[in-house]
Amino acid sequence: MSLDLTTNYLGLQLESPLVAAACPLTGNLDSLQRLRQAGAAAAVLPSIFEEQIEHEEMEVARLLDFWALSSPESSDYFPQLDNYNTGPGAYLKLIADAKEQLDMPIIASLNGATEGGWIRYAGLIEQAGADALELNIYQVPMDPGREAASVEEEYVRLVKAVRENVQLPLAVKIGPYFSSLPHLARRLAAAGANGLVLFNRYLAPDIDLESLQYVPALELSTPDELRLALRWIAILRDQVDISLAATGGVHTAEDVVKSLAAGAHVVACASALLGRGPQALVELKEGLQQWLSTREYGSVRQLQGSLSLQHCPNPEGLQRANYMRALTSFTPS
């Protein structure tokens, strides 16, 4: 019996649920070609940051000048913006070249800083021919006077503004730190989002004990990180009409199977690719096929959502009962 690995994500028909997530390997045509040859069904390009392409604007200059004047030593913490590609041209060319040379959907990724920037660059990305756009929203609310509802409202307003200006399928990459994630998911879907990517890894800085400064820190994900996404994908699967992508911690075929069973339409891998190269996709695909064949599944769709909140045999495992059981059953070594 032949296996049907196809899935639908953001309205795009994919040959499998294996997506190359945004990472350095998706940032140039040669490595994109290797990822495609290894079995990537789609690829998300690295995020283009509005600050990188608008650094000459007055607001950015004023911000840097302010910090330089008020605290000269803090200016070293800001990245040297001149080291980045400061125009969208190279990014847009990568989209166009990838679309011309690769037979897989190309999903652009945008991290804006202003509503106007989100709208402007989303439009340019659409014109370049991307198949979809991932809105990589990164915010750190630090004002104790700001209400949580206003943070959620800003996400919704942003998605609505982009949707009103482009026809591209939109995925929204968010973090888990919301008081009512299902409510936000519904609002984002109503605002025009076609998919959610769960979850964004909000890379926190470390402290250098020699210089006593905050320094950037990046470590690859581990499989344990996937559990948070599994829970929320299972909860959202049958409650919100939206595509779901699992990311952060997908390293093995078992992780792929778990994600699909919880309800993900695709899995987006980055750390596995950075650690093992494009060959990781071959291993994930072969492992997924073997798991499905051994258990006589005919398709990925049979598996998808089979352990969602609505369909799993023990929904209490997604709720308080799991917390209580995990703590009371632990036996120290």
Q: Flag whether 1 is in a domain.
A: no
Whether 197 and 268 have beta carbons less than 8 Å apart is answered as: yes
Residues 6+ apart with CB under 8 A from 270: 20, 21, 22, 23, 221, 247
- Give the model's pLDDT for residue 86: 46
Residue 195 lies in a domain: yes
Instruction: Give pLDDT tens digits for 207-253.
Output: 999 999 999 988 899 999 999 999 999 999 999 999 999 999 999 99
- 262 neighbors 234 (Cβ within 8 angstroms): yes
> Does residue 2 fall inside a structural domain?
no
**Residue 221, in any domain of the structure:** yes
Rounded Cα distance between 2 and 151, Å, is: 47
Structure confidence by residue, pLDDT tens digits, 50-86:
877 765 444 445 555 554 555 555 455 445 544 444 4
pLDDT tens string 139-189: 888 899 999 899 999 999 999 999 999 999 999 999 999 999 999 999 999
302, pLDDT greater than 90: yes
Residue 274 within a domain: yes
The whole-angstrom separation of Cα 322 and Cα 330 is 12
Tell me the C-alpha to C-alpha distance, in Å, between residue 66 and each of 81, 143, 158.
16, 19, 28
Q: Is residue 120 part of a domain?
A: yes
Show the tokens assigned to 54.
């608008």
The reply to whether 82 falls in a domain is: yes
| Mean pLDDT confidence for 308-333 | 79
- The total of structural domains in the chain comes to 1
**Per-residue pLDDT tens digits for 102-146:** 999 999 999 998 899 999 999 999 999 999 999 999 888 889 999
Q: Residue 75: give the domain boundaries.
A: 7-329
How many angstroms separate the CA atoms of 115 and 325, rounded?
Answer: 45
CATH number where 260 lies: 3.20.20.70
User: Do the beta carbons of residue 232 and residue 181 sit within 8 Å?
Assistant: yes
State the greatest distance between any 2 C-alpha atoms of the chain, in Å, as a whole number: 70
Q: What is the pLDDT of residue 324?
A: 64
